[in-house]
Structure 1
Amino acid sequence: MKRYKLLVLTLYKSFLLLLIYAQTPNIFENFDFSFSFPFSNTRWNLHDAMVSSNFIILTRDIKSSEGAIWCTTPVPFRDWEIVIQFQIYGHGENLYGDGMALWYVKDKEEKGPVFGSRDNFTGLGIFLDTYNNYNDINDHQHPYISAQVNDGTRQYNKDKDGTDTQIAGFHTNFRGADKHPIIVISYVRNTLEVKMTYDHFKTVEKCFEVKGIHLPTGYYFGASAATGELSDNHVITSFRVFPVIVDRTGKEAEEDPSKISPYAEFFSPPRDHVSKPKHIPMTAKKLVLIIILALIGLAVLFVVGVLVFKKQEESRKRLY
């Protein structure tokens, strides 16, 4: 009975989503690239992830785990919108991690340190980060959504939560067992836009919009997650892909989108970070030197004290 109710709820949510996009011109769902439940799309491969009754489990709430799901078919359309319903939750109240990444990249199905996937990736990464690795004073809170466009030459600096290479970022509290957020990522006419809804599109929160983003066709959609010393459940309920039809003319129409090298015309301005004073450990040589100097100082004080005492004694004798 419970499974039946979950299936009805999933179908209802899908129906609402279809109604919304039915009112949007030049956009339609491509079911070859999408998945929802019951999960049956053979174009997607699971890597250390699990299929439950109504969602994909990338990681459970256990330490040092990772998982991913990748579409095995390259994306042929130039403009698109993806709508992902997910959930991140666990037993931790103040400490939890690490987070999830959503990908549109050249090299799929490769493990690595960036939320369970490879570093120096080529393409687009959207990061749903739940733990602040940058323990210095930061100008944003977590959970935190950020985006990075990479041509394969830049590293994701985990110690700084990727803020030194991000094109944009936004704080929104998407973590919690009582939350079923939906993230909408659109790439249309070289503009990347990320939005979030927590009530199935009754209200929509705009996270950021960045123009001047250049991505080719032929890359792969995917999602990955990882835990370390801290942990969380990272699950995906649905991953829906909507190609967007855009009329292009002139040079834009003649350009071969498969030959584009991924890059961003603008990056997020440097963030104000105030570093904590670094504690420099004392070496053995320094410690010995300090002890010797202290002993010399005590010896000098002792000698001076003795001399002063003798002079005082001599003065007293003369008086008598």
Structure 2
Amino acid sequence: MAAISCRRHRRDSKSIHMLFSPQKMTPFTILCSFILLLFTVGQCFADDDHEMEEFLKREYSLTKPYQAVGPLSSSHWELMGDAMVTTEQVRLTPDMQSRQGAVWSRLPCHLNDWEMQVHFKIHGKGKKNLNGDGLAIWYTKERMQKGPVFGNKDNFTGLGVFVDTYPNEEKQIEAQKKRYTPSTQRIFPFVLAMVGNGTISYDHERDGRPTELGGCNAMVRNLKHDTFLFIRYVRRRLTVMIDIDGQHEWRDCLDLPGVRLPKGFYFGATAITGDLSDNHDIISLKLYQLTVLRSKQEEEDQEEEITIPSVDNMELLRLGQTEEGMSGLAIFFTVLFSMLGCIFLVVVGLLLYGHWNENRRKRFY
């Protein structure tokens, strides 16, 4: 597959070179080459998916009839707080005030590349913006510790993906009789991700904005169809997608390279309620091991031991967050299209100028 892919890409590159040769530079060939370039870039991303194979890891998965959940040492999952198991779900919190609950894996995960598919449900009697607070999916060094971050401890070490259902910052601004600017206003519920190194605090009052890696809005409350969250970590790239529309289609939420997560951390799910409440249910957590083809350079990089979670180029990431909801892939294509658009305009301008200059010379003969 990889060899075929390389040959195809070399053939496409040769076609692009021929289209861009000086003898064939016409507006039509420029447009064709532009389309071919976009197709080639799309194929590069598609090939990455074809190079992966996935295997369900049952020891890290939580599924019906939840026989592996309980206080026994032989169980793979352990409950905490107000969480309880029913025949249909693991209910992290009931629709009651001031509750928090969790379910944590007993086994540390030592996989290089993995994918977590979360089947969840958030529902309750509260109306829009009168519910809370949300749930979180974790891959962290610590486990079974209560706290204010969606039922887990603050200053955690690892990855947290949050489904935040209550706009704390928006309510504070409304109380101060101020208004959001259109560039900063969000629609809740909102899904966001954060990587902590044990010293970074989650800013609850600002809904985690100062430390988030990115996110998207997700209207997940009181839906009659199933809702899913997809978290993939492969080649040190973090991808988060959601399927909440009942169409069985994944929608991009976050795509970020340069995320460094150590091995040997624990998976978990937590939820919390305050003055407002909801039922927060986990129906399944399915973890897949990904087998990925790597280059020699990637194999060497993989051998580097990571002990502290981190994200490369956090300063550039902060600049990229000026536009809410844009993933790393969306930012890449925005920059790519902008550059190609500028090149296209310059080439067309040069061709038009050359045509005009040639016609002007002809008038003197």
TM category (shorter chain) comes to 0.7 to 0.9
Aligned to 1:27: 54
Shift of 1:113: 0.6
Aligned to 1:43: 76
Contact 1:182 1:200 in 2 (8 A): no
Contact 1:214 1:260 in 2 (8 A): no
Tell me, yes or no, if structure 1 residue 242 matches structure 2 residue 276: no
Cα distance in 2 for residues equivalent to 1:197 and 1:43:
27
Tell me, yes or no, if structure 1 residue 75 matches structure 2 residue 109: yes
Aligned to 1:109: 144
Where 2:142 maps in the other structure, the secondary structure is coil
Question: What runs of 5+ residues in structure 1 fail to find an aligned partner?
Answer: 1-22, 274-320
Q: 1:258 to 1:47 in 2, by over 3 A?
A: farther
Shift of 1:252: 3.8
**1:61-89 CA deviation, whole Å, 9 max, x = no partner?**
00000000000111010110000100001
Cα distance in 2 for residues equivalent to 1:29 and 1:37:
15
Contact 1:90 1:177 in 2 (8 A): no
Where 2:205 maps in the other structure, the secondary structure is helix
Aligned to 1:277: none
Cα distance in 1 for residues equivalent to 2:322 and 2:127:
28
Aligned to 1:259: 306
**1:146-199 CA deviation, whole Å, 9 max, x = no partner?**
000111111000000001100101111111142420111001111111111136
Aligned pair partner of 2:203 in 157, 176, 200: 157
Cα distance in 1 for residues equivalent to 2:279 and 2:318:
30
Q: Write out aligned runs for 1:51-130 (5 A).
A: 51-94=85-128, 95-130=130-165
- Write the letter of the residue equivalent to 2:121: Q
* TM-score (normalised: structure 1): 0.74
Aligned residues: 251
Question: What runs of 5+ residues in structure 2 fail to find an aligned partner?
Answer: 1-49, 69-74, 174-179, 325-365
Shift of 1:249: 4.5
**1:207-266 CA deviation, whole Å, 9 max, x = no partner?**
121111111110110000000000000000000000111233445424446534211123
More displaced stretch, 246-255 vs 151-160: 246-255
Cα distance in 2 for residues equivalent to 1:179 and 1:46:
26
Where 1:202 maps in the other structure, the secondary structure is coil
Aligned to 1:225: 271
- Write the letter of the residue equivalent to 1:73: L
Tell me, yes or no, if structure 1 residue 178 matches structure 2 residue 224: yes
Tell me, yes or no, if structure 1 residue 216 matches structure 2 residue 249: no
Shift of 1:268: 4.2
Cα distance in 2 for residues equivalent to 1:198 and 1:272:
23
Where 1:110 maps in the other structure, the secondary structure is coil
Shift of 1:56: 0.1
- Write the letter of the residue equivalent to 1:62: M
Cα distance in 1 for residues equivalent to 2:293 and 2:144:
33
Q: 1:28 to 1:200 in 2, by over 3 A?
A: farther
* TM-score (normalised: structure 2): 0.65
Where 1:53 maps in the other structure, the secondary structure is coil
| Same amino acid, percent of matched pairs | 36
Aligned to 1:280: none
Contact 2:218 2:244 in 1 (8 A): no
Contact 1:98 1:226 in 2 (8 A): yes
Cα distance in 2 for residues equivalent to 1:66 and 1:263:
28
Shift of 1:201: 6.4
Q: 1:116 to 1:165 in 2, by over 3 A?
A: same
Q: 1:64 to 1:126 in 2, by over 3 A?
A: same
Q: 1:146 to 1:256 in 2, by over 3 A?
A: same
Cα distance in 1 for residues equivalent to 2:219 and 2:299:
40
Q: 1:216 to 1:202 in 2, by over 3 A?
A: same
Shift of 1:90: 0.3
- Write the letter of the residue equivalent to 2:77: W
